[in-house]
Chains A and B, each alone.
Chain A
């Protein structure tokens, strides 16, 4: 487009239109380009991350292949690496965490969404959001000085006495172990379950509740049998979110799990998780196979959390499409 007319600034939108518009577009183009580059860099960083993980784990992938996931030996001296104890530990600690956090979290979310008056609900939610902001290393600190002694002196012996016939609660009470890590993780993920579940429950349309109450149900019945099932998928989503967080937790777990790559039926046994072994052994992994095996563990963790997060989002969005719009 040839600009032949004089440039007229600030005149109305139709005066000296051609050159004015092309000038406009130029300025906009630059801004558009710059912001596009920054947005694209986000994608670039993500791709680079996956790429680094992939090529960084080439050696063990070729050497061990699928066996990596079913071998339970982790022997740096004889160069035999297997991910099984770490996958086991990661899943067990996360499982214990969810076992404790889901009932508590959903219960609290029900209270906040259905029962509490708006101000109480908002205030409590505020505090629970603060709980989510507490860093992992501080949970670790409290875990080391409070939870471990408590487990060793009181909780583990009590469990042993009462439920010791189960293989879950056998073995010496060290204080550290799967159960301790699970408990600390539970505290860490409760806020996620509560805040997302609360939002999802709040988004259930009023008429659902009112219909149930109109038919003569009690408060609890309308909540448990109508509202919660309606928000079921969203609540599932919050659980997946919490699970993804629990799987990736590093510092709190490292400080209380016992740092021993074992697979044991007992929750009292010391264990290891993927994130914890990477944190402990990365700076000292001599030899390429050792280091790359750790990176492959990182890749495994990444994939696990990736899948879970994706599922979580899908479920939460699915709920929102049934009710009103919610923000994740």
Chain B
């Protein structure tokens, strides 16, 4: 009995010592989109290396999760590729008594990735084809809607396995936002959002899960952020944009999509650049945002976050292209630097 109590006391003392003696870095917690996760994890790692006493812990749980958790207040900041809608902004305001700000970080793209046994060519997809597949109307790979845009490629008569997100996702928001713009059928039946009632398909968790599913499932077709397709050597297709050009997602085409928005950026930075006009614009591009509350009760956290955002807008932007995310347009960076002053 004595031995057990002695053991317990020793453990408690050790634990206490652990708390007291541990070098206590400032720990900031964020959560949200998986779309920019490869970029953020690199940034936060770099930033920690430069500022050893600041630790920014980011969990990729999907944009829906980011919005939810930052509204609940369980994380210090959120991240989402689907901007918060007015209801969500109001909910935040009502709960906290102050608002929440959007800060764009990078530009990225949703690409249509596929895994068709025997087909290694780069396919082209029209907006009708994509909408048809995701609505469940086009079910086979050799359907004329797909084959028509891919003359010369032998597509098998296999059933298409659609893969979408099972969690609340900004990547889904971007995809469904695009589909809502190019297909009235989609707009009326399904709509746009982070979590929709998908007509067909398997659900994967996070961009990571969808990539994993596509890689492992023959005849699959899904949408992931560009870097996930590249990092995992997955084939992804070109998309025909509103000007009729067939565009592949890359730095140039994504930047082109943002060109118009850069000039007309609203003050709150909430803007959609899917189906953007422009000859070389990639139609399924998007900004992605950090969701930062207007007020912080903890001054050191506020300063750390503001410090990070400033770094991100200057040095951080140099890291984006290596991971195939496009830099923010100069005009947007300037606007953000000013907006940062609003965080108190």
Contacts and interface: CB of A to CB of B under 8 A. Distances in A.
Contacts of B213: 176
A311 interface: no
A286 B168 contact: yes
B304 to A, nearest CB: 24
A152 interface: yes
Contacts of B166: 259-260, 280
B216 interface: yes
A285 B71 CA distance: 11
Which residue among B64, B66, B71, B196 has the maximum number of chain A CB atoms within 10 Å of its CB?
B64
A284 B161 contact: no
A175 B217 contact: yes
A205 interface: no
Interface string A70-89: 00011111100000000000
B36 interface: no
B159 A270 contact: no
A283 B203 contact: no
A176 B202 CA distance: 9
B: contact size bracket? 20 to 34
A325 interface: no
B159 A284 contact: no
Given A77-B196, A172-B159, A284-B61, A259 B68 contact: no
A210 interface: no
Interface in A277-328: 280-281, 283-287, 291
A93 to B, nearest CB: 16
Contact of B216 (A77, A149, A284, A286): A149
Contact of B193 (A74, A77, A254, A283): A77
A: contact size bracket? 20 to 34
A32 B168 CA distance: 51
A111 interface: no
B201 interface: yes
Interface string A29-60: 00000000000000000000000000000000
Nearest to A80: B197
B65 to A, nearest CB: 3
Interface string B191-226: 101111110011111000000010011010000000
A105 interface: no
A283 B217 contact: no
Contacts of B67: 284, 286
B62 interface: yes
B28 to A, nearest CB: 18
Contact of B205 (A78, A175, A280, A287): A280
A6 B217 CA distance: 86
Contacts of A260: 166, 198, 201-203
Contacts of A291: 68
Contacts of B66: 284
A184 interface: no
Contact of A76 (B159, B193, B202): B193
Which residue among B193, B195, B201 has the maximum number of chain A CB atoms within 10 Å of its CB?
B195
B220 to A, nearest CB: 9
The 7 closest A-B pairs by CB, nearest first: A284-B65, A259-B203, A284-B64, A259-B166, A284-B168, A76-B195, A77-B193
Interface of B: 31, 61-62, 64-69, 71, 88, 91, 159, 161, 166-168, 191, 193-198, 201-205, 213, 216-217, 219
11 contacts: A76-B193, A76-B195, A78-B197, A259-B166, A260-B166, A281-B195, A284-B67, A284-B167, A285-B64, A286-B168, A286-B194
Interface of A: 73-78, 148-149, 152, 172, 174-176, 254, 258-260, 270, 280-281, 283-287, 291
